[in-house]
Structure 1
Amino acid sequence: MRNKQTFNYDRSRIPLYLQVASVMRQRIESERWKQGEKISTIEELETEFGVARVTIRQAIEILREEGLLDARQGRGTFVSGRPKDKHWFNLANDLESVVSSIKNNVIRIVHIEENAEAPSLEENEGRPASGYILLRSVQFSDGEPFVVVNLHLARDIFVRDRKRFTRQPALPRILEMRDIALAHAFQTVTIGVADPETSELLEIGLGEPTADCRLVLVDDAGVALYVAKYNYHRNSFALRRDLLPRPKAAKAARARKKSKSR
Structure 2
Amino acid sequence: MQKGQAESLSGHIPAYIQVASALRRRIETGEWLPGEKISTLEELEEEFQRARVTVRQAVGLLEKEGLLKRQQGRGTFVAEQVNDRRWLTLETSWSAIIRSIKRNVPRFIEVANPPSHPRLAPDEGKLAEEYGFLRSLQLRDGLPYAVVNVHIEKGIFDKYYDEFMEHTALAVFDTLRGTVVKRAHQTMTIGTADPEVANLLGVSLSAPIAECRCVVTSKDDVVIYVGEITYPSDCIRLHMDLLEDETSASSEVELSSPKPRRRSKKAA
TM-score range, shorter chain: 0.7 to 0.9
User: Deviations 1:10-40 (Å, cap 9, x if unpaired)?
Assistant: 4x11111110010111122233333333321
- The two structures have a TM-score, normalised by structure 2, of 0.74
Between 60-69 and 195-204, the greater mean CA deviation after superposition: 195-204
CA contact (8 A) 1:86 1:235 kept: yes
Unaligned residue ranges in structure 1 (runs of 5+): 247-262
Task: Give the match for residue 9 of structure 2.
Answer: 9
Task: Give the match for residue 262 of structure 2.
Answer: none
Q: Secondary structure at the match of 1:43?
A: helix
Identity of aligned residues (%): 40
Q: Give the deviation of 1:215 after TM superposition.
A: 1.1
CA contact (8 A) 1:112 1:133 kept: no
Structure-2 separation of matches of 1:191 and 1:6: 22
Q: Secondary structure at the match of 2:162?
A: helix
Task: Give the match for residue 84 of structure 1.
Answer: 84
1:135 equivalenced with 2:134 (yes/no): yes
Q: Which has the higher helix share?
A: 1
Q: Secondary structure at the match of 2:159?
A: coil
Task: Give the match for residue 256 of structure 1.
Answer: none
Q: Look up the equivalent residue of 2:57 and give its one-letter code.
A: Q
Structure-2 separation of matches of 1:24 and 1:220: 48
Structure-2 separation of matches of 1:208 and 1:141: 20
Between 52-61 and 158-167, the greater mean CA deviation after superposition: 158-167
Q: Secondary structure at the match of 1:106?
A: coil
**1:77-156 to 2 correspondences below 5 Å:** 77-80=76-79, 82-85=82-85, 87=87, 89=89, 91-93=91-93, 95-112=94-111, 115-140=114-139, 145-156=144-155
Between 203-212 and 175-184, the greater mean CA deviation after superposition: 203-212
Task: Give the match for residue 33 of structure 1.
Answer: 32
Unaligned residue ranges in structure 2 (runs of 5+): 247-268
Task: Give the match for residue 252 of structure 1.
Answer: none
Between 147-156 and 200-209, the greater mean CA deviation after superposition: 200-209
CA contact (8 A) 1:150 1:229 kept: yes
Q: Give the deviation of 1:104 after TM superposition.
A: 2.1
Between 63-72 and 16-25, the greater mean CA deviation after superposition: 63-72
Q: Look up the equivalent residue of 1:31 and give its one-letter code.
A: G
Task: Give the match for residue 165 of structure 1.
Answer: 164
Q: Look up the equivalent residue of 1:21 and give its one-letter code.
A: A
CA contact (8 A) 2:90 2:237 kept: yes
Q: Look up the equivalent residue of 2:8 and give its one-letter code.
A: N
Number of aligned residues:
244
CA contact (8 A) 1:125 1:186 kept: no
CA contact (8 A) 1:127 1:223 kept: yes
CA contact (8 A) 1:187 1:214 kept: yes
